[in-house]
Amino acid sequence: MSLRDLPALFMRGGTSKAVVVDIRDLPEDRAAWDAIFLAVLGSPDPNGRQLDGMGGGISSLSKVCVLGPPSRPDADVDYTFAQVAIRDATVDYGGNCGNMSAAMGPAAFELGLLPPPDDGEAVVRVHNTNTRKVIRARFPVVDGRLDPDGTLAIDGVSGTAAPIRLEFLDPGGAKTGSLLPTGNAVDTLSLPDGREVTASLVDAANPCVFVAAADLGKTATEHPDAMDADTAFMETMEAIRRAGSVAMGITADLEAAARMPSVPKVSLVAAPTDAVTLSGRVVRADEAAVIVRMLSVGQPHRAVPITGAICLAVATRVPGSIPHAACAAPAGPLTISHPSGTILVDAEVAEDGGAPRALSGTVYRTARKLFTGTVHYRD
């Protein structure tokens, strides 16, 4: 066994962190990527901490992003997202990470994939290869790099930074090809234990399964740790996720769904009510339009994934859906309440041939370069 070197960036994007690498520094054979990414992050780790790698022991800190030249004319750069399992030796390319999407424009300049921009506002069209969708990133630059200063604060991240506007263009059907893969705003899912659960299956930016919290005896104000400790609840949510995957046509059967844990996301949603955040702050009911508790890769998310927030915003604009019924803002931008606070999102949905079509989803994030150098991993 020996140590290998890999040039890399380590970046925060929104409420996530990831190792970012240039595709030109990876083997051409993509089958070799998994072993590298697992070793770099420190997986599999039965202790769940990834102390022998760059991972942080939770799904939002166990990620790799690969940047390279664009493969389509309407993009400036290609971006491939890899979700690395913590305890298992698996790497999932099934979906995108919206939080890390915020870092990809700035990272493209850092890696020299794009010429340095003039001071002012940079616009980078990022093609996410996982979803085959283009995300337009707008952000201020100074001396050819992301402006290190700014006044935007996002819940879940200390301090302030420069705003990065992410515009998810035509986000519907990111994985399945259809905003409503079943053609319905609401479906009934049959679980292996014989129970039936009503859910909205929506695919925008990333596919998601939305369930009314009250249907599972919850309020959607639960602390992530309390959710994680409720074994029966977590098993139910995973069963719902797998059933949703099959119903959406993402996987052929429940066993295949179990092997693709990153999509669809599964969520509890409810009408806004007072909720205590992880920092102890109370988000009042009148501060939000809808409240969510989302699970990602088998773990309760401590904020809300950006692609999940975009999907939820789109879903609130689909008449008859569970999020639509829960949402207190019938039009315009809406604030989502999540475990770390709130996030402001916007979505535009129009009718197209009698069916809803997602035109766009927009969110503001921040990002920061944490280090530039070489990652050393075990061969």
Is a pLDDT exceeding 80 seen at residue 1? no
* 156 and 194 part of one domain: no
* 170 and 193 part of one domain: no
DSSP-assigned states of every residue in 3-60: EEEEEEEEEEETTEEEEEEEGGGS-SSGGGHHHHHHHHHT-S-TTSS-TTSS--SSGG
* 337 and 223 part of one domain: yes
Q: What is the pLDDT of residue 120?
A: 96
Banded pLDDT at 326 (limits 50, 70, 90): very high
Helix (H, G, I), strand (E, B) or coil at 61: helix
For 112, the enclosing helix (H) or strand (E) is none
- In degrees, rounded to 5, the angle at the alpha carbon of residue 256 between the alpha carbons of residues 200 and 93 is 80
Reported as a single tens digit per residue, the pLDDT across 248-298 is 999 999 999 999 999 999 999 999 999 999 999 999 999 999 999 999 889
Q: What is the pLDDT of residue 172?
A: 96
Banded pLDDT at 2 (limits 50, 70, 90): confident
Report the C-alpha gap between 257 and 240 in whole angstroms.
11
Structural domain containing residue 46 = 3-174+366-378
Entry pTM? 0.85
For CA atoms 24, 29, 32, 37, the dihedral sign is positive
For 291, the enclosing helix (H) or strand (E) is strand 290-296
Q: What is the CA radius of gyration of the chain?
A: 20
| Beta-ladder partners of 211 | 268
* 197 and 340 part of one domain: yes
Reported as a single tens digit per residue, the pLDDT across 86-115 is 999 999 998 999 999 999 999 999 999 999
What is the distance between the terminal CA atoms of the chain, rounded to a whole angstrom?
A: 6
Q: What is the pLDDT of residue 16?
A: 95
Q: Is residue 119 part of a domain?
A: yes
Q: What is the pLDDT of residue 75?
A: 98
Residues 157 and 15: beta-carbon distance below 8 Å: yes
- Length of the chain, please? 379
* 113 and 16 part of one domain: yes
DSSP 8-state assignment for residue 172 = B
Report the C-alpha gap between 112 and 105 in whole angstroms.
11
For 63, the enclosing helix (H) or strand (E) is strand 63-68
The total number of structural domains that make up the chain? 2
| Beta-ladder partners of 314 | none
Q: Is residue 181 part of a domain?
A: no
Reported as a single tens digit per residue, the pLDDT across 33-62 is 999 999 999 999 999 999 999 999 999 999
For 239, the enclosing helix (H) or strand (E) is helix 231-247
Reported as a single tens digit per residue, the pLDDT across 195-254 is 999 999 999 999 999 999 999 999 999 999 999 999 999 999 999 999 999 999 999 999
Residues 328 and 272: beta-carbon distance below 8 Å: yes
Reported as a single tens digit per residue, the pLDDT across 130-178 is 999 999 999 999 999 999 999 999 998 999 999 999 999 999 999 999 9
* 140 and 195 part of one domain: no
CATH of the domain at 207: 3.10.310.10
Residues 37 and 84: beta-carbon distance below 8 Å: yes
Q: Is residue 316 part of a domain?
A: yes
Q: What is the pLDDT of residue 207?
A: 96
In sequence order, which ranges of 248-297 are alpha helices (DSSP H)? 254-258
